[in-house]
Amino acid sequence: MPREALSDDRDLIRAFLDGDAEAHRVLDGWIAAALNGSFRSIYCERDDLLQEARLRVLRNLKAGQFAGASGLRTYVHRIARNTAVDRMRIAYRLKRESISAAATLEWRAAPLRDQSASLIAGDLMNKVLAGLSASDRGLVAMIFEQQLSCAEVARRLGISEGAVKVRVLRCRDRLLKRRRELLGSEGVARP
């Protein structure tokens, strides 16, 4: 199908779902453009990301999830970027788990004074957390321990993503204030 005939989003979707090579080239170009440059930390997985984003686009279009509220290009771009962000989160969690495993090994091999320093830091953290409300402790657990995104926390709590972000900032301020109180260092600059 010639490119001129693919000007309308609905025509492009129809051609893409019918397997038209030109329609596939157009959407693949949009996906590649969305992934170029912004995701250097996972660049080695670029081909996998392109394929995964292409599959997500295909599934969504087959399911009729494109409502037309934005242009098709914007819709495809958003899917591609979300695919990359999801992959980055997975990579971060895997890295964090491997760091945690390495830290456990270091803990076992560390000299007694290092273990003592870690115990003191853990004790301080427990005291800081004990000074928070149950809802703040739950929020800290979801964000920092479970590594959930603000969107995931919002879905779990049944509130907007913006409200979650505000709560996280306020909770962070309360954590820092409580830490300063426990350390007796009111003059410490805020990070």
pLDDT of residue 99: 61
- Rounded Cα distance between 167 and 171, Å, is 6
Per-residue pLDDT, averaged over 24-37, amounts to: 84
CB count in 10 Å sphere of residue 70: 12
Terminal-residue alpha carbon distance, the chain: 57
Helix locations, the chain, DSSP H: 9-17, 21-35, 46-62, 72-109, 112-130, 134-140, 150-157, 161-183
CA angle 5, 6, 7 (to 5 degrees): 95
Q: Is 178 helix (H, G, I), strand (E, B) or coil?
A: helix
For the range 97-103, what are the long-range contacts, defined as Cβ-Cβ under 8 Å and sequence gap of 24 or more? none
pLDDT of residue 25: 92
Confidence label for 95 from pLDDT (cuts 50, 70 and 90) = low
101-155 per-position pLDDT tens digit: 555 555 555 555 555 666 666 677 777 777 777 777 788 788 877 888 888 888 8
Nearest Cα to 170, choosing from 143, 146, 152? 143
> What is the residue whose two structure tokens read 């320093």?
117
- pLDDT exceeds cutoff 70 at 189: no
Per-residue pLDDT, averaged over 153-178, amounts to: 85
> Would you state the CATH architecture of domain 3-89?
Orthogonal Bundle (1.10)
1-14 per-position pLDDT tens digit: 444 444 588 888 99
Nearest Cα to 35, choosing from 17, 18, 60, 57? 57
Residue spans per domain, the chain: 3-89, 110-183
Cβ-contact 154, 164 below 8 angstroms: yes
**Mean of the per-residue pLDDT values of the chain:** 76
Fold of the domain built from segment(s) 110-183? Arc Repressor Mutant, subunit A (1.10.10)
Per-residue pLDDT, averaged over 149-178, amounts to: 85
Helix axes of 161-183 and 150-157: crossing angle, nearest 10 degrees:
100
pTM to 2 decimal places = 0.46
Nearest Cα to 86, choosing from 147, 28, 161? 147
What are the tokens at 74? 């914007």
Nearest Cα to 150, choosing from 141, 133, 162, 132? 162
